Amino acid sequence: KAGCDAVESQLFDLFASLGADDEQLDFPVAYASARAGASSASLEECQKQVREGSGSMEALLKLLVEHVPAPSGEVNEPFSMLVSMIDRDPFLGRVVTGRVVNGSCKVGDRVHALKRQSGEVREVGRVSKIFTSKSLTRVAIDECVSGDIVTIAGLGEATVTDTLCSVDVTEPLESTPIDPPTLSMTFGVNDSALSGKEGKQLTGRQIEARLKAEAETDVALRIKGGSDERIEVQGRGELHLGVLIETMRREGFEL
């Protein structure tokens, strides 16, 4: 009980520090155990369900339905979706993920990507695939409508903050700009006497290809070609670039 009260107090302090209003500070609380599959608005009832093995997630789901607002948007308006994430599929190429704000979209529809603020057309294409998430997998669907969170394939240049929309739409959706890099590092081949002892990806061309592939899915990463097999990599900080370096090391790259 004391632990739960302490966490609730910490959440309240966090909300207050972020400038939450009175309505947001009066948040509902549920108690749950993922391992036991139990949930309740009462701590005692949740503990009882855990002991007896008779719990369910029904109370938590009801709380979500009651307090989380339904997606807003007009199904009858032209299709528009704000791109919030990009990824690369080995068979489909670049895919973009976001929530459909207005309208609907079907496989084969003609769409274009608009740049934020300027509304300039980045590219025009046709939707080749639409996916929705089910558990941890992607499931192909034929159509998405307002409120759906989907992944769309068919455009190779659209990126985060772009508006993917019907060709009839000329105004982009409002979006938050991507923060610029704060740290720059130079990546290059390992030219020491111990080169080749710990990895097999040794050439500058291999390193450059790997970095460009990473930049296709990490919008905070910027790559600038250098000379003498040196590549400038810009990121959001030491942790951002440190994770990239460690990932490449585990893949067999030497830097």
What is the chain's mean pLDDT, rounded? 87
CA distance 121 to 112: 7
From the list 187, 194, 172, the residue with the least C-alpha distance to 112 is 172
* In a shared domain, residues 134 and 194: no
Q: Is residue 97 part of a domain?
A: yes
CA distance 88 to 168: 27
* In a shared domain, residues 126 and 96: yes
**Domains in the chain, number:** 3
Tens-digit pLDDT profile for residues 208-231: 888 888 888 888 898 887 666 788
Q: If the chain, 255 residues long, is cut into consecutive pieces of 10 residues, what is the mean pLDDT of each piece?
A: 82 90 87 88 88 87 88 86 90 91 92 89 92 88 92 90 91 88 86 71 81 85 76 90 90 82
Q: Is residue 173 part of a domain?
A: no
Residue 207 pLDDT: 85
CATH of the domain at 228: 3.30.70.870
* Helix or strand run (H / E) with residue 222: strand 222-225
Residue finishing a domain among 114, 135, 166: 166
Q: Is residue 73 part of a domain?
A: no
Which residues is 93 bridged to in the sheet?
A: 89
- The residue range of the domain holding 139 is 80-166
**143-145 and 104-106 beta bridge pairing:** antiparallel
* Helix or strand run (H / E) with residue 230: strand 230-235
Question: Is the pTM here over 0.75, yes or no?
Answer: no
* In a shared domain, residues 84 and 130: yes
Residue finishing a domain among 96, 131, 166: 166
